[in-house]
């Protein structure tokens, strides 16, 4: 993904695989382009953001997919009469079998249970 990221000080990248060209699972993945293990924008905004789909440890060829990406600054506001709140939480990787669930608290909004 290329483009100017000037004006951001603490951006968040949200993404989704938005096509279904391959019946096998894949998920959105973003990194800071210096290393795939680093979260997006870890090194600042000079190197941009690299986005891809992640297929786990499956070694096979997959069909191309289209990715949707939103880059947004942390904070709260409204867009087209819809209120939003964006915050950076702790780095967590968990599955549906993990307990306790991860609870993310957002100011002025309901909790998000993952």
Domain residue ranges of the chain, discontinuous segments joined by +: 1-73
**Three-class SS of residue 13?**
strand
Give the pLDDT score at 57.
Answer: 75
Largest Cα span, the chain = 45
pLDDT in tens, the chain (114 residues): 445 566 777 888 889 999 999 888 888 888 877 777 777 777 666 667 888 888 877 778 889 999 999 888 888 888 898 888 887 776 665 666 666 666 666 555 554 444
Give the pLDDT score at 68.
Answer: 93
Residues 6+ positions from 12 with CB-CB distance below 8 Å = 71, 72, 73, 74, 86, 88
Q: Token pair of 93, please? A: 């990787």
Give the pLDDT score at 113.
Answer: 44
Give the pLDDT score at 6.
Answer: 63
Question: Please, what sign has the CA dihedral across residues 35, 37, 42, 46?
Answer: positive
Q: pTM to 2 decimals?
A: 0.67
């Amino acid at each position: 993904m290329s483009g100017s990221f000037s004006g951001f000080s603490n951006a968040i990248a949200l993404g989704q695989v938005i096509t279904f060209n391959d019946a096998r699972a894949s998920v959105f993945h973003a990194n800071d382009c210096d290393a795939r293990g680093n979260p997006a924008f870890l090194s600042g905004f000079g190197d941009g953001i690299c986005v891809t789909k992640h297929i786990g440890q499956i070694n096979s060829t997959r069909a191309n997919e289209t990715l949707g990406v939103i880059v947004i600054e942390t904070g709260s506001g409204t867009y087209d009469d819809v209120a939003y709140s964006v915050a950076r939480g702790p780095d967590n990787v968990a599955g549906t079998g993990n307990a306790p669930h991860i609870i993310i608290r957002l100011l002025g909004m309901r909790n998000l249970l993952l």
